[in-house]
Amino acid sequence: MAKVTVVGAGNVGATCANVLATREVCSELVLLDIKEGVAEGKILDMYQCATLMDFDTNMVGVTNDYAATAGSDVVVITSGMPRKPGMTREELIGVNAGIVKSVATEILKHSPNAILVIVSNPMDPMAYLTLKATGLPKNRVVGLGGALDSARFKCYLAKALGVNSNDIEGMVIGGHGDTTMIPLISKASVKGVPVTQLCKDKAVLDKVAADTMVGGATLTKLLGTSAWYAPGAASASVVEAIVRDQKKIIPACVYLEGEYGQKDICIGVPTVIGRNGAERVVELELTAEEKELFEKSAEAVRKTNAILTEIKAL
C-alpha cells in the first residue's frame, strides 16, 4: 500500500489524516507541522482511536522533519493561514504563496515522485504556483476545490429537495472562490432524475447555487475560522482516488492546455483521478450561460495569478 504525507496539522490537515487513517487508505501516514508537538499529539490521539475503531494504519507525527516524509506517494499540502470572518480566499495569497512554495520544494527533495494535492487557499493560484515553481508534469498537481464545493452543492440540493444527499449527482466547476465557482444545476440529478424536473421553481435552485458559492464564507462566519470536517474529508477522498486507482471523475483544479477554451491556468473541471493523479480532463457540454460564467471565472483566476508575479512568487 501507499505512503501518504499530510503537511499541516491544523483542523483541515488533521481531519484529512484522521479520515485517511480510519478508512485505511494507506499503509503509512505521516502528519507534519511546523509547531512543536502538534502533529505528534494529534497522531497519538488517533492511535488511541485505533483501539476503539479497529484500524491498523501505521502513523507518525513529526515537527518540521521532512526526512520522515521520504518516499511518499501522495502529499497533501494544507499549510498556510486559514480564512477569518470577512476575509476572501484571495486575500491570503501574499502570506500563503511563500509557505506553499517552500513546502512543495522540501517535499520533492525527499519524495521526487509524489503527487501533490493542494488544499491551501487561495487554492487555484496555489496549485498554479506549485506547478510552475516545481516544474512537475501537470498530472502530479491536483487542487482540491471542486470536490469540496460539489459536496456543499449536494448538501444544499438535498435540503432543498428533501432527498438523501447520497442519491445526488452534482458538480461545481470553475475557480474555488465565492464569486468564481459554478454549480452546474443543468447537470445535477437524483438517481438519474434531473433536479430541474424535481423542482420547477427556478428561484429555489438559484438559491441552492448561491448558498453553495458562499458555503465556505457561511461556515467561516459561524465558526470564526475556516471549516474543516468537509474540507478534510474532501481532501482524503481525492487521495483515496489516487492511491486506490479509482478512476473517479472528480471536479479538481488542474492545469488546462486548451480544454474548455483555456490555456496556462489551473482551474476546477471534471477530471479522472487515478494512480497517476489527474489522468484526464472530461469536457462537458456546457450551456451558453455556463460557458460565459466559466470564462468569467477563468478571467478572475488569472487576475489573482497575476499577483503571484507582482509579489515575485513566480
Can you read off the three cell numbers belonging to residue 145?
A: 476545490
Phi, psi for 71 (deg, rounded to 5): 80, 15
Quick count: other Cβ atoms within 10 Å of Cβ 120?
31
Residues 161 and 23: their CA atoms lie apart, in Å, by 30
H/E element holding 216? helix 215-223
- Rg of the chain in Å (alpha carbons): 19
Catalytic member of 42, 89, 176, 187? 176
Quick count: other Cβ atoms within 10 Å of Cβ 200?
8
Is 110 among the catalytic positions?
A: no
| Beta partners for residue 117, in sequence order | 76, 142
Contact 142, 273 (CB under 8 A): yes
What is the amino acid identity at position 163? V
Residues 57 and 69: their CA atoms lie apart, in Å, by 15
Q: Cite the active site residues.
A: 176
